[in-house]
């Protein structure tokens, strides 16, 4: 599993990140371990902290650390990869090696897209059952299904979890390769339970 945000450097002390807490990853990793799965968690700089029993945790902070760490782990032949990390979509084209002076009145950063890690997983480990995640800030069901199918097409995911927030709170859908919604949950704990049920059936 991967979870949490990734950093990309601006200068020697500043980064661009996102608001992923790592909570959902911790819930799923813990539930998997309780089910007897040998679980390795590649964990970014999370703000949610949990005591994960029987889970091997490997830390990373930067995008440039996650990619080689994941490649190294994939060589071990995992049955399932749950790619939940909120990976940075952009990085600074050329970060500054030293700390920028805070008195600067203007600063322009040239951002370029990062490599899509999820699209590499099946290439490196074709037999691995891949679960991808699609986080959106607007969770209209039809829109989520379209984006989930696009992720399946690009990355070869076997299942996709499309999740996000509505005015009523958290919502998550588990979808198969045909875009069929297998479950809907309004709590992260429920999502974890249903996802593991589907994994048991399909692997």
Q: What pLDDT was estimated at residue 148? A: 85
pLDDT of 70 over the 60 cut: yes
Nearest of 109, 67, 107 to residue 85 by alpha carbon: 67
Q: What pLDDT was estimated at residue 140? A: 57
Give the C-alpha separation, 23 to 117, whole Å: 21
**Domains of the chain: which residue ranges?**
2-90+113-202
Superfamily of domain 2-90+113-202 in CATH is CoaB-like (3.40.50.10300)
Q: Hey, what are 68's tokens?
A: 């080689």
Q: Hey, what are 49's tokens?
A: 């902290």
- How deeply is 168 buried, as exposed, middle or buried, from its count of CB atoms within 10 A (0-12, 13-18, 19+)? exposed
Instruction: Please tell me the chain's helix, strand, coil percentages from 3-state DSSP, rounded to the nearest 5.
Output: 30, 30, 40
pLDDT of 29 over the 80 cut: yes
Residues 6 or more apart whose Cβ sits within 8 Å of residue 65: none
Give the C-alpha separation, 133 to 51, whole Å: 23
Q: What pLDDT was estimated at residue 202? A: 78
pLDDT of 143 over the 80 cut: no
Q: What pLDDT was estimated at residue 163? A: 87
Q: What pLDDT was estimated at residue 171? A: 87
Q: Hey, what are 75's tokens?
A: 């060589």
Q: Hey, what are 95's tokens?
A: 């970060």
Q: What pLDDT was estimated at residue 138? A: 61
Q: What's 36's DSSP letter?
A: T
Main-chain phi, psi angles of 188, to 5 degrees? -65, -35
Q: Hey, what are 24's tokens?
A: 């959902």
pLDDT of 194 over the 80 cut: yes
46-56 per-position pLDDT tens digit: 999 998 999 99
Give the C-alpha separation, 24 to 4, whole Å: 9
Reported as half-sphere exposure (CB side, CA atoms, 13 A), residue 122 has a value of 16
Please state the rounded mean pLDDT for residues 151-161.
Answer: 95
């Amino acid at each position: 599993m991967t979870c949490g945000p990734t950093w990309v450097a601006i200068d020697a002390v500043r980064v661009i990140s996102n608001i992923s807490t790592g909570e959902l990853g911790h819930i799923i990793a813990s539930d998997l371990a309780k089910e007897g799965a040998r679980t390795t968690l590649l964990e970014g700089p999370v703000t949610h902290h949990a005591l994960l029993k029987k889970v091997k945790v490997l830390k990373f902070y930067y995008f440039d650390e996650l990619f080689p760490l994941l490649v190294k782990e994939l060589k071990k032949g995992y049955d399932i990869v749950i790619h939940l990390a909120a990976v940075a979509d952009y990085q600074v084209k050329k970060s500054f090696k030293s700390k920028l002076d805070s008195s600067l009145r203007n600063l322009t950063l040239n951002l370029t897209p990062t490599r899509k890690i999820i699209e590499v997983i099946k290439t490196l480990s074709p037999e691995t059952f891949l679960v991808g995640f699609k986080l959106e800030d607007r969770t209209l069901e039809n829109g989520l299904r379209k984006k989930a199918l696009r992720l399946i097409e690009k990355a070869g995911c076997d299942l996709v979890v499309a999740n996000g927030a509505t005015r009523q709170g958290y919502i998550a859908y588990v979808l198969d390769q045909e875009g069929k919604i297998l479950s809907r949950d309004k709590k992260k704990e429920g999502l974890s339970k249903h996802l593991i049920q589907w994994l048991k059936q399909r692997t």
